[in-house]
Amino acid sequence: MTHPAIEIGCFMTFPLRFAVSLLALSLAPPAAAQIVETEKTNIRVEAVASGLKHPWGVAFLPDGNFLVTERPGFLRIVTPEGKVSSALYGVPEVVARGQGGLLDVALDPDFEKNRLVYLTYAEKGEGNTNGTAVARGHLTESLSPQLRNVEVIFRQEPKKDSHLHFGSRLVFDNEGHLFVALGERSRVGMREEAQELNSHLGKVVRIMPDGSVPEDNPFAGVEGARPEIWSYGHRNQQGAALHPETGKLWTNEHGPRGGDEINIPEAGKNYGWPVVTHGREYSGLAVGSGKSSAPGMEDPIHHWTPSIGVSGMAFYTGDAIPEWQGSLLVGGLARPGIYRLTLNGERVTGEERLLADLGSRIRDVRQGPDGAIYILTDEEDGKLLRIVKAE
């Protein structure tokens, strides 16, 4: 299918001040953020492509094209002019039910040499069970590109009968390790496994590009523990990014009724779910201990109550909007928009909600090679949008 780029060149201009969020006023220390006023900045939002069916992840190919996943199970190439390719052959079969389907996409750090592409997706198990998996394949350079020699390099175990909370984001660190941020499958009786080291549910895992386990993983060699585990006690992680200066992994995760979090997962540490949380059950009852912190469990560096429905996130280092350099950008699904967080080291100092008037669920946020910001809207008629400063 192709979609003419009829919206290219159309744009909307927004003053940065107009969408300052007041949500942080309700936050409690230490994650509370002081609202800061920045200089007025107008931004331009350009439609690169439309007609994407619930797009989930985007990666930037060296030739200037985009690689975009659609949750129903399709991988497509999008040109800067807005042409959307037919679905690429070779994508693994996905369980496209509930929150499951084809999810994140990432290029190998040596993509220009090996052309390896990594995908996360919901994989069918026995009976009605399923779980998050990671596969990689070689993207051909033919006139009709496809994935070849596809292999599954990681499977979340155990598989569960649930169509919720798959996660997941893929991030390579500066040493070539691959982080996979996973969900805990949501349901009572499953989510408790986020605290158990014999399960991948509710974990960040760290593997090598071929799926093997790094020798210095915190639970490698520990009897009864899954050796891939990096950190545990997470809920439903839907955003992840590598800090451009420290090289540390940052992730975000959905809380239940409130309590969306940003964490900096460290080796072997416990991030609390479902024992502690800033949120509550959807019924209004307390979760776990009913407390927001406990000894031996790490507090988030930032949280939202009520929830914004966190999604893809990116550190901004580009020149397209100089005023935003050093910010962390987080997409919002439940309260649509982009949330720009100002930082002082590992402390959030301010927050602004942007693009709320778009009225679109923001699924992914990335900085492109050109320094512009690219976002995906999670809709039946999803869009790839480009954001730059308005001159």
Helix (H) or strand (E) holding 112: helix 111-114
Dihedral of the alpha carbons of 275, 364, 64, 245, in degrees to the nearest 10: -50
Strand ranges across the sheet with 260-263: 236-242, 249-254, 260-263, 302-304
Q: Which residues of 151-167 are buried (b: 16+ CB within 10 A; e: fewer)?
A: eebbbbeebbebbbbbb
Query: Is-contact 170 153, C-beta < 8 A?
Result: no
Catalytic residue, from 3, 54, 138, 165: name it. Answer: 165
CA angle 381, 387, 391 (to 5 degrees): 135
Q: Which of 192, 191, 167, 182 is nearest to 100 (CA)?
A: 167
DSSP-based three-state secondary structure for 25: helix
- Please give the DSSP secondary-structure letter assigned to residue 157: S
Which amino acid would we find at residue 346? E
- Please give the DSSP secondary-structure letter assigned to residue 111: H
* Cβ neighbours around 10 below 10 Å, total: 10
Query: Is-contact 78 85, C-beta < 8 A?
Result: yes
Exposure of 306 in the CB half-sphere (CA atoms within 13 A):
6
Q: Which of 324, 332, 388, 255 is nearest to 21 (CA)?
A: 332
Q: How far apart are CA 272 and CA 195, in angstroms?
A: 8
Helix (H) or strand (E) holding 211: none
186: Cβ contacts below 8 Å, ≥ 6 apart: 162, 164, 165, 236
Cα 33 to Cα 24, 365, 373, distances in angstroms: 6, 21, 24
Query: 177 an active-site residue?
Result: no
Residues marked active site are found at: 165
